[in-house]
Structure 1
Amino acid sequence: MDMYNENENQWTNWAGSITTLPDTFCQPKSVRELQDIVIQNEGSIIRCFGSGHSWTPLVVTNGGILIDPTGITENGQKAFRWQKNGLNLVTCFPSARWADVREALTTDGPLPKMYLPTAGVLPSINATGFVAAGCHGTGWEQPTVSDLIQAIEFVAADGKVHVFSEDTTPNEMNTVRVSVGMLGVITKVTLKVDPMYRLWDQERLVPTAEVMGANPESRGGAIDSSKLHALVTGNEYVELFWFPGSGFDGSIWVKQYNRTQDDPRDIPLRTDDDWVDSMAGPVMQWSAQQPMVIPAVQALTWKTINDRVKVIESNKGFVADAPRVLHYQLKAFPILDLEVAMPIPATGPNAWDFSNVVKAWWQAVNYTRVKWAAGKYPLTTCLHARFTKNSQALLSPAFEPAHSETHYCWIEILSAYPKNDPNPNNRSAAMSEFDEMANRVVGEYWIKELKGRPHWSKYWHKISPPVNIKSLLPQANLDTFNSLRRSLDPQDIFLNPFLRKQML
């Protein structure tokens, strides 16, 4: 086990927007070493991290112990697939990123290939951290990835491994699915997966009004959500992107996927070393340092997307195994990301009210338009939406009671961030416009007025006045979760100041 002290401990998240300086930084290589760290702890706060893809201070310790468990494997394995009682399963250890899970599920072997029915986009994200934070993919009839958990193990405050599973502790599963690190350090998680399936990927550039209806500013506030309803409910998987470079009454990049038995029909658009992925990071960081070039960079970005989509459209889409379609982005550049789960309530059989999604979308577009006209750039990447079923996990932003027909839209704003700029004033300036949009659009409108709930790991800590999670989730959920949490961690060693404010 590696342990470090003093200034060499400083940790920064992937985006460069969160930094913490623990007293001790530990890198256990086994569950036993992890247990020893917890047992020998003398009351210090303990937090752990995965790949650092969070924008909220979930792992900030202000001293204490910060644990990197990503060296933990089992017999050298990061993940493996297996079957039990007719279920297809994959077990992941803290070392597994989604790329490792993909390899475990798709490598030739004695068992048939399998895959997740829904997944996050980036293969570089840590799998156990992903489920702990209640993360998601897309899929109208798919839950969050945390809802796929069949079994999960934690090293809790007593240093022991605590096991929860659908077989042995079914009544506690919805309590432990989303823990945000407050129950202990996850050492193993098993997810239910599907036999390998193919997706037919169709992509289009569609005038915004043909997806979201006409801009309500031009219709006296009137909302038309019928087109969005037809698109989302008529496809298994849908993602929507709006880039300011397309114009403020421009187009939405629509990605829609449906399962198919057709033979593969791939389009060789890119490889792992695709130059677009390689260049995107430096160009976007540069634009965040030089705001005057943002419109030109956005125009170039939109042209690149336009060219890609034209190739796909001309070939009537492509068909490939699920991982090829779901993990469409291979690399990522430092950004700021704030996301809200927006409820889509059912209004009858096969009918849902998408009006709040349309309102949220146009509010972001119209706010950005006004700011850009004034030479200010709060949104320099895109506005993005995905759609899922609700979640049964008690702390999920998409929580709904059992048998609820409410679905959710995960809508987010993303903006480039100059992570490598040595000038703190430049970094602060890049965040200031985004922070204002976070307050005006997300805090005041998406959350307060439209009743959205923020994604645990996506930047909502900067909203002012502060968002109170306790007012957004049912009190019974918090009581049930805290009852289990206090039994596993009576001294609150897994609560940092940020989480303490939210949960107690």
Structure 2
Amino acid sequence: MVVKPILKYLLLLIISTAYKSVAVGINKDPVIRSVTPISNKTWENWNGAIDISPNAIFEPSTLQDLIDIVKLAKKNNKTIRCAAQGHTVSSLSVTDHYLVIVNNLNKSIVQNHPKYGWTVTAEAGMSLSELDLALRTHNPPLTLNSETVYDSFRVSGVIAVGAHGAKPSSGIMSDQLYSLKIVTDSGEVREFNEEINESEFNAAKVNLGLLGIIYSVTFRVQPMYNLIMNDNYVSIKEWLNANNIKQLLNSSDGIELLYWPFNGFNQSDPNHFDPNKDLVWVKNWVRTDKQVNITQKQLEQLRKTEREGMILQYQLLSGLLKNPEETPNITSSIWEDLISSGNKSLVLEAPDAFHYVPAEESLKLDLLEFGFKVDPDFSNVVTEFLYAIQTLYDFAKQGKFPVNYIIDLRIIKSTKALLSTTFDNDSEALYCQLDFETAYRTPSWEEFGILMAKRYFDKYKAKPHWAKEWEFIPNVTSYLSNVLSDQIKQFELVRAKYDPDKIFFDNKSLQEIFNIALGSKK
């Protein structure tokens, strides 16, 4: 009889085929349950500064996916870094091993907490615009207390790096958290909040991806409210002083000063490089019971017009990469168009006021930001804002134009989040955040950035924003290991507990900073 051998052969064939169907591997390693990498092997961040080809890229859509990815990484001796929308321009998302893109994790739920009132839990990949919509359409309508300017950022990204808005009472967005859940080294889901363990919560609130993969974050939210958003264009020479800034801050929910380079430039003026002729854009928000004074349709049209204007501006600024000497002519012309409608005031719902600039992904910029503690009399805020402007003019006299977009100043409250650039034991301390933006790859940008960093580091022990550019600054890792030494030592106790195998500790810059601070050679 030949039946048995044939049946045996068919059985082996079926088993072999079934095994192959589930053994789609990464470097021939078996897939665990739902984990399958996407076919794309390369990833690029928003401005193109980071372009990597990791071992595998995953786009999970469930919590189980995250758990399985961590288990697979442990099995295959791989490390993990995460990314969302890709707005981080430092190397935090860079890895040769597994890159996890969390954008498909985008669900949310609103609940009424017995202690904190209304809360919203959002999965890691939910954008702020999606979160705003979920809160706005809830009954009753709700809102966060402060947010970043751009609403395209994902919630896990703004938490992991300590991103912030312009509202002093709220500080960084992480300070609005009630809790967050992270898939750690063991593949377990750990919840961090101040009731479970306050010190671990302060580590998790700005974790740089070092504790695991953020699965969800839970914010404390409040009933929707309106803000008056004022935009005034004032003389730097006449208005910019410590007393005016302090008074404005004390009478507002938040303030922002924006400087457009060389906006007072006039080619026909013999003394055309004079910062005293410039204006500064003073923006402030005031909470109000007044009704919104612009319809949704009008707001959508306004955002559309603003977006079109931003694209046109960027095209002009990009042209300066080959002709930087034209910077004053171009930037002053753009400025004249910006202020042509004069000072203005709008009453908006809070999220619309927070996100006053439409998110336009086609604008590719270099970004640099430093935070330093505000003096009680606010004198150093004015000194450093004016110094930054004067430095642009000093560069211009040498034929160099390193910033062609904006210099932006915001003042926010300190935080207890250990790795935040605004960490302070004084809970009432204020920090000045100076932000520089220019068209991507503008000549002399790094030279300018290094000069500004040296000043702020030497004078204030200032710290750069983790998500923006800082790694080109000479000796920056040794500097940060020193100024963050105490916080790193506290953070490391938590990191070592939840990632003892260093699956998530896959970033050369952070490794250098931690190793120096901890006295380790590895």
2:471 partner letter: H
Contact 2:161 2:208 in 1 (8 A): yes
TM-superposed CA distance for 1:263, in Å, is 1.9
Aligned to 2:244: 227
Residue 176 of structure 2 is aligned to residue 159 of structure 1? no
Aligned to 2:449: 438
Single out whichever of 24-33 and 296-305 deviates more from structure 2. 296-305
1:51 partner letter: Q
* Cα distance in structure 2, aligned partners of 1:47 and 1:470: 21
2:98 partner letter: I
Q: In the alignment, which of 287, 292, 302 is matched to residue 271 of structure 1?
A: 302
* Cα distance in structure 2, aligned partners of 1:43 and 1:436: 40
Q: In the alignment, which of 174, 177, 182 is matched to residue 210 of structure 2?
A: 182
Residue 173 of structure 2 is aligned to residue 142 of structure 1? no
Q: In the alignment, which of 328, 340, 344 is matched to residue 295 of structure 1?
A: 328
Residue 401 of structure 2 is aligned to residue 385 of structure 1? no
Aligned to 2:111: 82
* Cα distance in structure 2, aligned partners of 1:162 and 1:141: 29
Which whole-Å deviations, capped at 9, do the CAs of 1:7-43 have from their partners, x for residues lacking one? Answer: x422221111222221111112211112111101122
Contact 1:22 1:66 in 2 (8 A): yes
TM-superposed CA distance for 1:119, in Å, is 0.6
Q: In the alignment, which of 33, 41, 54 is matched to residue 22 of structure 1?
A: 54
SS of the equivalent of 1:163 reads: strand
**Mapping for residues 107-122 of structure 1, pairs under 5 Å:** 107=137, 109=138, 111-122=139-150
Aligned to 1:395: 419
Taking a change above 3 Å as real, the CA distance of residues 289 and 83 of structure 1, as seen in their structure-2 partners, is farther
* Cα distance in structure 2, aligned partners of 1:31 and 1:124: 22
* Cα distance in structure 2, aligned partners of 1:187 and 1:58: 18
Taking a change above 3 Å as real, the CA distance of residues 461 and 231 of structure 1, as seen in their structure-2 partners, is same
Single out whichever of 378-387 and 32-41 deviates more from structure 2. 32-41
Taking a change above 3 Å as real, the CA distance of residues 140 and 95 of structure 1, as seen in their structure-2 partners, is closer
TM-superposed CA distance for 1:486, in Å, is 0.7
TM-superposed CA distance for 1:294, in Å, is 2.6
Q: In the alignment, which of 136, 146, 160 is matched to residue 106 of structure 1?
A: 136
Q: In the alignment, which of 307, 313, 316 is matched to residue 280 of structure 1?
A: 313
Aligned to 2:85: 51
SS of the equivalent of 1:3 reads: coil
Identity %: 26
* Cα distance in structure 2, aligned partners of 1:139 and 1:434: 29
* Cα distance in structure 2, aligned partners of 1:164 and 1:293: 52
Single out whichever of 281-290 and 127-136 deviates more from structure 2. 281-290
Contact 1:140 1:388 in 2 (8 A): yes
TM-superposed CA distance for 1:244, in Å, is 1.1
Aligned to 1:91: 121
Contact 2:171 2:414 in 1 (8 A): yes
2:261 partner letter: P
Q: RMSD in angstroms over aligned alpha carbons?
A: 1.9
Consecutive unaligned residues in structure 2, runs of 5 or more: 1-34, 265-274, 516-522
Aligned to 1:218: none
Count of matched residue pairs: 458
Aligned to 1:484: 494
Which whole-Å deviations, capped at 9, do the CAs of 1:441-479 have from their partners, x for residues lacking one? Answer: 1x211122232111111101111232422222251x222
Which whole-Å deviations, capped at 9, do the CAs of 1:89-115 have from their partners, x for residues lacking one? Answer: 1211122011111111101x4x31111
SS of the equivalent of 2:466 reads: coil
* Cα distance in structure 2, aligned partners of 1:293 and 1:459: 25
Contact 2:263 2:328 in 1 (8 A): no
* Cα distance in structure 1, aligned partners of 2:454 and 2:144: 35
TM-superposed CA distance for 1:129, in Å, is 0.7
* Cα distance in structure 2, aligned partners of 1:169 and 1:158: 19
Which whole-Å deviations, capped at 9, do the CAs of 1:109-163 have from their partners, x for residues lacking one? Answer: 4x31111111101111111111110110011322210111111011111111111
Contact 1:43 1:491 in 2 (8 A): no
1:453 partner letter: K
TM-superposed CA distance for 1:321, in Å, is 0.8
Consecutive unaligned residues in structure 1, runs of 5 or more: 214-224, 346-351, 418-426
* Larger gyration radius, structure 1 or structure 2: 2
Aligned to 2:30: none
Taking a change above 3 Å as real, the CA distance of residues 404 and 283 of structure 1, as seen in their structure-2 partners, is same
SS of the equivalent of 2:47 reads: coil
SS of the equivalent of 2:399 reads: coil
Contact 1:360 1:445 in 2 (8 A): no
Residue 522 of structure 2 is aligned to residue 498 of structure 1? no
* Cα distance in structure 1, aligned partners of 2:323 and 2:110: 47
Aligned to 1:327: 355
Aligned to 1:423: none
1:446 partner letter: Y
Q: Using structure 2 for the length normalisation, give the TM-score.
A: 0.84
Aligned to 2:105: 72
Q: In the alignment, which of 200, 215, 222 is matched to residue 228 of structure 2?
A: 200
Aligned to 2:5: none
Aligned to 2:428: 405
SS of the equivalent of 1:175 reads: helix
* Cα distance in structure 1, aligned partners of 2:213 and 2:313: 34
Residue 400 of structure 2 is aligned to residue 376 of structure 1? yes
Single out whichever of 458-467 and 280-289 deviates more from structure 2. 280-289
* Cα distance in structure 2, aligned partners of 1:356 and 1:260: 31
Aligned to 2:43: 11
* Cα distance in structure 1, aligned partners of 2:380 and 2:42: 41
Residue 247 of structure 2 is aligned to residue 236 of structure 1? no
Taking a change above 3 Å as real, the CA distance of residues 101 and 446 of structure 1, as seen in their structure-2 partners, is same
1:183 partner letter: L
1:58 partner letter: L
* Cα distance in structure 1, aligned partners of 2:389 and 2:397: 12
* Cα distance in structure 2, aligned partners of 1:113 and 1:161: 30
* Cα distance in structure 2, aligned partners of 1:132 and 1:22: 21
Q: In the alignment, which of 79, 85, 94 is matched to residue 60 of structure 1?
A: 94
2:64 partner letter: R
SS of the equivalent of 2:302 reads: coil
Contact 2:210 2:504 in 1 (8 A): yes
**Mapping for residues 207-222 of structure 1, pairs under 5 Å:** 207-213=235-241
TM-superposed CA distance for 1:80, in Å, is 3.1
Aligned to 2:457: 447
Aligned to 2:263: 246
